[in-house]
Amino acid sequence: MLTFLAGILFGLSLIVAIGAQNTLVIKQGVRGEHVGAVVAVCVASDVVLIAAGVGGAGALLTRSPDVLQVVRWVGAAFLFAYAAFALRRAWRPGALRADTAGEPARLGTVLATTAALTWLNPHVYLDTVVLLGSVAATHGGARWWFAAGAMLASLVWFTVLGHGARLLRPLFARPAAWRVLDLGVALIMTVLAVSLLRAP
């Protein structure tokens, strides 16, 4: 039980920080579009990555720095593009209607964006696969209980974040609020992209 709780706390410490993935979940939650599907992709991705890390993939990843380098550059390019689209939404008058803050996004587009923000982020591999896998290994035979705790943390966090964001809808009934949100999204994505490029 203590190992399970440790996994929950460690998992939360990795995913609670506001990043590209969390920002997208919040935005879809506020818009009320495909929230369940976005949460499912985030949680399923974490389950796969956590299982891979605990299963020993982290050790293999640390011996393949070229793979992380490719993901780093592709991820940075994607984040810059996402930031540019957010800026375009913020400044284009037709994109800020009070009811929907723009045309409803297609499910396939939202899922592809969610997957890209998750799997093209090198920090996901370093944190979830390498770091979490290393910490789980210190628990010996109980390491899968640690993994189960981290997986549960992901499920709870993304569910609360996605479905709880609808409480902010009254605020986002004003177009100006969407403008601020999109500007914030653009800023976060740009900072994350620059941090990827500056990483050693």
The length of the chain in residues reads 200
The predicted structure's pLDDT at residue 184: 84
H-helix or E-strand containing 85? helix 65-91
Give 137-188 pLDDT, tens digit per residue: 888 889 899 999 999 999 999 999 999 988 887 877 777 777 887 888 788 8
State which amino acid sits at residue 61.
L
Judge whether residue 95 has pLDDT over 60: no
User: Do residues 193 and 83 lie in contact, with contact meaning Cβ atoms separated by under 8 Å?
Assistant: yes
**Cα torsion angle, 59, 153, 11, 198, sign:** positive
The predicted structure's pLDDT at residue 129: 83
139 is written with which tokens? 């628990």
The predicted structure's pLDDT at residue 103: 64
Please report which confidence band the pLDDT of residue 79 belongs to, taking 50, 70 and 90 as the band edges: confident
- Judging by beta carbons within 10 Å of its beta carbon (0-12, 13-18, 19+), is residue 196 exposed, middle or buried? buried
Please report which confidence band the pLDDT of residue 115 belongs to, taking 50, 70 and 90 as the band edges: very high
Give the rounded distance of the alpha carbon of 183 from its chain centre.
18
H-helix or E-strand containing 27? helix 20-31
Q: How far apart are CA 106 and CA 89, in angstroms?
A: 16
Please report which confidence band the pLDDT of residue 8 belongs to, taking 50, 70 and 90 as the band edges: very high
Q: State if pTM tops 0.85.
A: no
Give 14-58 pLDDT, tens digit per residue: 787 667 788 889 889 988 889 999 999 999 999 999 999 888 776
Question: Three-state SS string across 94-145, please?
Answer: HHCCCCCCCCCCCHHHHHHHHHHHHHCCHHHHHHHHHHHHHHHHCCHHHHHH
